[in-house]
Structure 1
Amino acid sequence: MLKNAERIRSGWPRGDVDNLAKSTLDAMTQAGVWVDDEQVVGVRCTKKYCEINETRVIYGAMKRCT
Structure 2
Amino acid sequence: MMRLGTVKFYNDEEGFGAITPSNGGNEVNVFAHGLSSQIKPENIVQFNIEFTPKGVEAVQVTVLSA
Q: TM-score, normalised by structure 2?
A: 0.21
* Higher strand proportion: 2
Q: TM-score, normalised by structure 1?
A: 0.21
Higher-Rg structure is 1
* Higher helix proportion: 1
